[in-house]
Chain A
């Protein structure tokens, strides 16, 4: 097991783009090597060691590498981008694009996450023990597919456009979400335990379950009786008929 502990030397105002801060890039590296990894800061690159105190315990493969961010990293973006295995623990809040395009492994965030959490991920797991901002698990602007696999669990609330364009994988929100969750869902599963507004518009396929209250249910769904999931009976809607969709929306 290799554990890399990182803590910010001082809070940064300009965001750090830590797009290569993942177990794939840290596994088997010494403290000095990790400190020398370049990250974007403003319009130039600097060694990671300029911003972070780095402590490395052990040396191991990617699967057995764990990154621990101590404290708030709410101005550090793209942590865990493209990671394929291993684990990242963030004991504080994190900036945008955390877990972007991740393929495997696990990210645990003990704080809040800014927008685009788990955007375009294809595998692995993200557990957020706080609130998420906009576009969780969605796609890059203009892309037809967001998340394609893996699972995102949010133990707090999320804001608008949760799971926009998702084509696979699962998002579970224990709290409530904002406007238009599961917009253009194309095969993913989204479960919202709290409330939602205008869910699953332009859904082509996939499943959306909302256990709380739904505001402004869109009129473009066909009601097809009821369906029971885990001993709870939901009203079943199929659509969005505007796009010839066959997605399933279950609400109370």
Chain B
């Protein structure tokens, strides 16, 4: 097959400790190799910044986003980031694109590729709705995809925890991942989704879930133990209790502390806490609301069992979408906004609410600052994954803009200068002068993900890895990101080249080719005796409660485009 030689690349590959060194990269048959023949096609990088393809480990790009699309038809005409949003007519190579926060599936693939991203992880798949998620995955071109399946408010999960049946619980989680063709265990406001079925919420880690007599802490611990028993490639991925409430930083730290006793079964974290910006609020109400980022960062700096992602806020319109039903109800009431609410049968809740982050609102200004504070106050970038929880904090097409906040104190000052005195009093960001370099940015946007998700072939440029590569129009030694942030933004907004499995998919910021991406899913092996005992229990659930039969519930391989099955051995 084809061979490519990328010459004179200024390579930034933190997995190998390479910090903007000029070298050549050889590609053969979609993989990075040591050398190629003289017949290889040559791409001259001319000293430009070259990284592995970006990896967005937490994005809402398939599934619930469709509810966002239907309640925000006006999003289709929004064009706030020209070139990466709005309505674009079809071309010879691309299909028609619309939207900003909730773009159509094709636009999601094209736009991520233009940013140099080649892998995404859908953050929440309700098991029963997995078929829909995979239908959307199929229509997102270029990118490799995976998704996290929801288990945090599931009846069967909570019953097994209450009845102290960890083996059956493991069998159920393994079956749930298979049924949804999911990659990992997502826990959203543990227990809260079920409580919301009764119009309630859980208030903290030790508040029992109505009718199940289990606490969020028990749900978290049991699922974490199962996650390690099954040796899953990713740790549990947790959206903490009390999201969006002033004072919730304490719950977040408490949750992180719980996991100190979890021993990871692989070389990765024991816990991933997601969109921590929404969970790092201090104060007791919206009146005395202030940043809780220093306390959270302080704990994270002293701990080595966890990773987290930001959930950075971008000013402008956004669409919140989460399985955290009660939060969305609160949002809709507080903001007098449109509200979509769904009951996911025996499994969870879900809600969608559009909102607008304004720099004039002191709450929004502080939220904006908290994301950056977390990224800058946590010393080790390997613990941090950059996200906007797209589109909850803002659309992913704003990543280049957000990179400038991380790389330039001057750019931050520019934004901060528009804030009110009250907002400034509630944040610590103005006192932080740290500026990330390209190396640290590469860690937060691709290399850390490779480790967090145990995908050694992603997020690095080692021989043997997938040839997913982004070349940006930046000459590392000759640019000062802290002052030339406009250039940085422009370069990251349209990669000079994006290669996906050794194929040029983006050239000079325009789509060149639209190959189909792979779908990763995890098949965790469970002894058949335990599996069949568990099946008997869920058969009752399907007979008594579910609206679908078990045979129609499972997502078949026919639904997956280029599936990649990752098998793990459960320890029983």
Contact = CB atoms under 8 A, between A and B. Distances in A.
Interface of A: 139-143, 204, 243-244
Interface string B334-358: 0010000000000000000000000
B336 A142 contact: no
A243 B72 contact: no
A139 B77 CA distance: 13
B39 interface: no
B75 interface: yes
A204 B337 CA distance: 13
Interface string B189-222: 0000000000000000000000000000000000
Question: Considering the complex of A and B, which 3 residue pairs feature the smallest CB-CB distances, nearest first?
Answer: A142-B74, A142-B73, A141-B73
A141 B336 CA distance: 17
Contacts of B336: 204, 243-244
Contacts of A204: 336
Given A140-B73, A141-B73, A142-B72, 12 more contacts: A139-B74, A140-B74, A140-B77, A141-B74, A142-B71, A142-B73, A142-B74, A142-B75, A143-B74, A204-B336, A243-B336, A244-B336
Interface of B: 71-75, 77, 336
B418 to A, nearest CB: 23
A244 B73 CA distance: 26
A243 B336 CA distance: 8
Contacts of B71: 142
A243 B338 CA distance: 12
Contacts of A139: 74
B70 to A, nearest CB: 9
Nearest to B337: A144
Contacts of A140: 73-74, 77
Nearest to B356: A144
B101 to A, nearest CB: 12
A143 to B, nearest CB: 4
Contacts of B72: 142
Contacts of A243: 336
A85 B251 CA distance: 58
Contacts of A244: 336
Contacts of B74: 139-143
Nearest to B70: A142
Nearest to B69: A142
**In this complex, which of A141, A204, A243, A244 has the most chain B Cβ atoms within 10 angstroms of its Cβ?**
A141
Nearest to A142: B74
A238 to B, nearest CB: 17
15 contacts: A139-B74, A140-B73, A140-B74, A140-B77, A141-B73, A141-B74, A142-B71, A142-B72, A142-B73, A142-B74, A142-B75, A143-B74, A204-B336, A243-B336, A244-B336
B200 to A, nearest CB: 23
Contacts of A142: 71-75
Contacts of A141: 73-74
A125 B132 CA distance: 47
Nearest to A143: B74
B267 to A, nearest CB: 46
A174 B47 CA distance: 71
A165 B526 CA distance: 56
A192 B71 CA distance: 30
B331 to A, nearest CB: 15
A122 B73 CA distance: 21
Contacts of A143: 74
A4 to B, nearest CB: 29
A243 B74 CA distance: 22
A120 to B, nearest CB: 11
A204 B336 CA distance: 10
A239 to B, nearest CB: 15
A117 B336 CA distance: 27
Contacts of B75: 142
A71 to B, nearest CB: 32
A26 B71 CA distance: 38
B319 to A, nearest CB: 11
A142 B75 CA distance: 8
Nearest to A140: B74
**In this complex, which of A140, A142, A143, A243 has the most chain B Cβ atoms within 10 angstroms of its Cβ?**
A142
Nearest to B338: A142
A141 B73 CA distance: 6
B461 to A, nearest CB: 43
Nearest to B77: A140
A204 B77 CA distance: 26
Contacts of B73: 140-142
Contacts of B77: 140
A180 B168 CA distance: 55
Nearest to A139: B74
A140 B72 CA distance: 10
B451 to A, nearest CB: 40
B339 to A, nearest CB: 13
Nearest to B71: A142
A65 B520 CA distance: 62
A140 B71 CA distance: 13
A144 B568 CA distance: 49
B346 to A, nearest CB: 32
A135 to B, nearest CB: 14
B246 to A, nearest CB: 23
